[in-house]
Amino acid sequence: MTDLKERVVPIDTTGDAPPRWTVPQPVRDAGKHLGLVVLAIVMLYPVIWMVVSSLRPSSEIFRSPGLVLDSFEARNYSDGWDALSSPFGHFLTNSAIVVLGCIIGNLVSCSMAAYAFARLEFTAKKLWFGLMLGTIMLPIHVIIVPQYIMFSNLGWVNTFLPLIVPKLLATDAFFVFLMVQFIRGLPKELDEAARIDGAGHPRIFLRVILPLMLPALATTTIFTFIWTWNDFFSQLIYLTDPEMYTVPVALRSFVDATVATSWGSMFAMSVVSLLPIFLAFLIGQRYLVKGIATTGIK
Amino acid sequence: MSAIGELQRLSAAKGSPPRKRDNKAAFLFLLPWFAGLVLITAGPVAASLLLGFTDYNLLQPPEFNGLENWTRMLGDERLHQSLLVTFKYVLISVPLQLAAALGLAMLLDRGLRGLSFYRSAFYLPSLLGSSVAIAVLWRQIFGAEGLLNQLLDLFGIQGRGWISDPDTALSTLIVLNVWTFGAPMVIFLAGLRQIPAMYYEAASVDGAGRFTQFRKITLPLLSPIIFFNLVLQIIHAFQSFTQAFVVSAGTGGPSDSTLFYTLYLYQRGFNNFDMGYASALAWLLLLIIAAFTAVNFWAAKKWVFYDD
C-alpha cells in the first residue's frame, strides 16, 4: 500500500522543488521495527507463557495470561519428574541414546554415500542419484508397515534398533544431498594431489574430504539431533514398553494419563523436553540457517 | 541449489561422455546406502504395494484378497472424512504459511538492522512446532479455559472450547502450521539475497513503484524458490501427524474433525492391526502426494521463471 501513496507526489509547478511528501526513512524504519518486535512477541508469547506458567501453582495457569511471576514455584518440576512409572530422567536418557545413535549413523553412512555421488564415476550413477533424491520426498507412512513387520519379526520392537539402524544405512537422504552439494564445492585439485601421492579413495575420503566438510557434518549433527529428539511417529510405533519410552512418547502418555489435573507438571516436563532443542538452536544457529538455505529442509 | 532443481536438471540432462569408472570403490562407499534402499526405503515401498492386496493382521500369514482393500475405500466414510480434513489442512495452511514467510522475508531483506535477531525469533517456532510439548501447549491454549479464552475475556469476548468444537478444532492445527513459517522464510531470505540490487535501482530510476518492482522483479526471480517451498511444504503438510494425535488424544476427534490421513492410517494399522488395508492406504497417500507434486511441476511451466 505504501508504494501507492508514495507515487502520488504533488506536482511541482513552481520550480523550486519542495521535499517529496513521503514518510522520512528513520520514521519508516522505526515503524517497521515496532511491527516486527510486536510480531516476534506475539509469536513467542505462547512459549514464554508456558515457561512462566510451569513455575506457577497449577491452579493459577488458568487464571494468569500474564508473563510476570509473583512467586517462584519449583514444585511442578519435582512433581512432573516423578509422575510416570520411571523418573523423567530415564526418558531423557533413552532419547539421548537414540539421538546419539542416529547422529553417528547419519554422519558415517551419509558422508560415505555423498563421497561416492560427488567424486566417483560408476555405472548408472544418474539413476542411483535420482533414486536417492526421490527418497527425500518419500513419506515414512508409506514404508512403515512393511518396516514394522520386518523389525517385529526380528524381535526389535521395544528396542532402539528400529530407530537407529535405518540411519546407519543412509536413509536420511536429505543429508546425503546436503553433503554432496558441499563436497562438489571443494576444489578437485586436492583429491588429485592426494591421488598423485598414491592415496586410494578411502584415504582421500578420510584424510582430505572429511576434515574439509566439517561444516556440513555440523549441520547434519544439529538437524539429526533436533529431528530425532522431536520425532514422534516412529517412536510411538516402535516403543510401547514404558521402560523404553523416549521423551515425546513419555510426554504423550503423561498427557493422556493426567488430562486437566496437573497442567503445571505437564508444562514443566514440556519445558524440560524443549530445553535441549533450544540449546541446540542457540549453539548451532549458524549451521541451521545455512542448512535450510542450501537444501530447503525444515 | 535445491533437491528439486537437481531433479529437474537430471531429467533434462543428456548423457555425459563416459569417464573412467571406479565401480568397486563406489560400491563400497555406497554399500550402507544401498542396503538402506533395499531394506528400509524402496524395498518396503514395493512390499507395501503387495501387502495392499492382502488381508494381514500380523498373526496369520497375509492372504491375497484381490482388490478388496481398494473397493473397501470407496465405502469407507472415515477415510473420506480424513481426506477432506487433510485436503482442507493442506490447501489452507500451506498458502497462508508461505504468504507469511514471503511477506516477512521481504520486510527483513534490504539491510534491515537486527536481521539476525528477527530471523531467530521467527525461525524458532519451526524447530519447536513438531514436538509433542508444543502440541500439549496448543491443547491448553485452545481449550475451553485456555490461554486464548483468558485473553479474549480481558476484552469481554466470550470464547469457546476451540479444540472441543468440531467447527474450530482443525483451525487450531492450521494456526499451528502457519506459526512455523520461519523455515520457508529463511529459504526466501536466502533467495532474495541472490537478486542483484541493481535491478531495483534501475527500475526505480525508470520510475517503477514498489509494487511494480515486486511484481516485475522479485516475483519472477524468486519464483523457483517459491515453487520449491510450495512443493516441499505441501508434501510436508500431507504427512502431519503429531499435532493432531496429541491434541485429539489419538482419536482424530471431536467428530473426526482432526482426523488427518496419517492418523487414520495409524489407527487402522497399529490400533486395529489391519495391515493389508493400512498398506493400501499408504499407497493411496503416496499416489495423492505424487499427483499433487506432478500437478505442481506441470503448473510450474506456466509461472516459474528460470534465468538460465
CA–CA gap between residue B199 and residue B193 (Å, rounded): 12
Contact B45 A152 (CB under 8 A): no
CA–CA gap between residue B266 and residue A37 (Å, rounded): 40
- pLDDT of B212 over the 80 cut: yes
Residue type, A13: T
Name which of B13, B209, B293 is nearest A7 (Cβ-Cβ).
B209
Smallest CA–CA distance from A275 into chain B, residue: B128
pLDDT of residue B197: 86
The chain-wide mean pLDDT, for chain B, equals 90
Contact B130 A36 (CB under 8 A): no
Chain B contacts in chain A segment 275-294 (CB below 8 A)? 277-278, 281, 285, 288-289, 292-294
Contact B48 A145 (CB under 8 A): yes
The b/e string for A126-143 (b: 16+ C-beta within 10 A; e otherwise) is eebbeebbebbbbbbbbb
**Residues in contact with A14: Cβ distance below 8 Å, sequence separation at least 6, in sequence order:** none
Reported as a single tens digit per residue, the pLDDT across B18-57 is 567 889 999 999 999 999 999 999 999 999 999 999 999 9
pLDDT of residue B113: 80
The b/e string for A183-209 (b: 16+ C-beta within 10 A; e otherwise) is beeeeeeebeebeeeebebeebbeebb
* Nearest CA among B33, B270, B232, B66 for reference residue A144: B270
Query: Can you tell me which residue has the cell 506458567?
Result: A53
For residue A198, the SS3 value is coil
Q: Can you read off the three cell numbers belonging to residue A231?
A: 520425532
pLDDT of residue A13: 42
pLDDT of residue A4: 40
What's the residue count for chain B?
308
CB count in 10 Å sphere of residue B44: 25
Name which of B122, B128, B266 is nearest A274 (Cβ-Cβ).
B128
CA–CA gap between residue A56 and residue A267 (Å, rounded): 10
DSSP state of A9: P
pLDDT of residue B2: 66
Chain A contacts in chain B segment 160-179 (CB below 8 A)? 179
pLDDT of residue B257: 94
Interface probe with A: pick from B8, B30, B107, B123, most Cβ of A within 10 Å:
B30
| More confident call, B127 vs A60 | B127
pLDDT of residue B188: 92
Shortest Cα distance, chain B CAs vs residue A40, angstroms: 6
Smallest CA–CA distance from B121 into chain A, residue: A40
Q: Can you read off the three cell numbers belonging to residue B126?
A: 519451526
Contact A147 B107 (CB under 8 A): no
DSSP state of A58: G
- pLDDT of B14 over the 70 cut: no
* Residue A26 touches chain B, beta carbons under 8 Å: no
Stretch B139-162: mean pLDDT: 89
Shortest Cα distance, chain A CAs vs residue B302, angstroms: 23
Neighbouring-strand partners of residue A223? none
Q: Can you read off the three cell numbers belonging to residue A167?
A: 540411519
CA–CA gap between residue B162 and residue B170 (Å, rounded): 9
Name which of A123, A266, A285 is nearest B120 (Cβ-Cβ).
A285
Q: How many CA atoms lie within 13 A of B233 on its CB side?
A: 29
* Residue B209 touches chain A, beta carbons under 8 Å: yes
Which residue numbers in chain A have pLDDT < 70?
Answer: 1-22, 258-261, 293-298
Contact A133 B120 (CB under 8 A): no
Chain A with chain B: Cβ pairs closer than 8 A: 289
Residue B9: pLDDT band (50, 70, 90) is confident
Interface probe with A: pick from B33, B188, B297, most Cβ of A within 10 Å:
B33
* Residue A143 touches chain B, beta carbons under 8 Å: yes
Q: Can you read off the three cell numbers belonging to residue B220?
A: 519472477
pLDDT of residue A16: 47
Contact A281 B127 (CB under 8 A): yes
Stretch B274-289: mean pLDDT: 95
Is-contact B57 B275, C-beta < 8 A? yes
* Residue A219 touches chain B, beta carbons under 8 Å: no
Handedness of CA A120, A121, A126, A132 (dihedral sign): negative
Is-contact A170 A246, C-beta < 8 A? no
Contact A138 B45 (CB under 8 A): yes
pLDDT of residue A293: 67
Handedness of CA A61, A247, B237, B87 (dihedral sign): negative
* Residue B58 touches chain A, beta carbons under 8 Å: yes
CA–CA gap between residue B112 and residue B214 (Å, rounded): 18
Q: How far is CA A44 from CA A67, A156, A209, B129, B131, in A?
A: 12, 40, 40, 12, 15
Q: How far is CA B70 from CA B45, B63, B289, in A?
A: 17, 15, 18
Interface probe with B: pick from A142, A222, A273, most Cβ of B within 10 Å:
A142
Give all domains of chain B, ordered by start, each with its CATH number.
82-303 (1.10.3720.10)
Helix (H) or strand (E) holding A274, with range, is helix A263-295
Reported as a single tens digit per residue, the pLDDT across B42-52 is 999 999 999 99
Q: Can you read off the three cell numbers belonging to residue A11?
A: 506536482
| More confident call, B138 vs B13 | B138
Cis peptide, bond prior to residue B254, ω within 30 of zero: yes
For residue B63, the SS3 value is strand
Name which of B23, B122, B132 is nearest A251 (Cβ-Cβ).
B132
Neighbouring-strand partners of residue B55? B63
Smallest CA–CA distance from A267 into chain B, residue: B137
Reported as a single tens digit per residue, the pLDDT across B82-119 is 999 999 999 999 999 999 999 999 888 777 788 888 98
DSSP state of B6: H
Stretch B144-165: mean pLDDT: 89
Give all domains of chain A, ordered by start, each with its CATH number.
88-295 (1.10.3720.10)
Give CB contacts under 8 A, 24+ apart, made by B155-164.
Answer: B163/B138, B163/B139, B163/B247, B163/B248, B163/B254, B164/B254
Query: Can you tell me which residue has the cell 566417483?
Result: A120
Is-contact B163 B172, C-beta < 8 A? yes
pLDDT of residue B59: 86
Distance of CA B183 to the CA centre of its chain: 12
Strand B63-64 relative to strand B54-55: parallel, antiparallel, unpaired? Answer: antiparallel
Handedness of CA A146, A151, A152, A153 (dihedral sign): positive
Q: How far is CA B182 from CA A227, B28, B120, in A?
A: 16, 39, 8
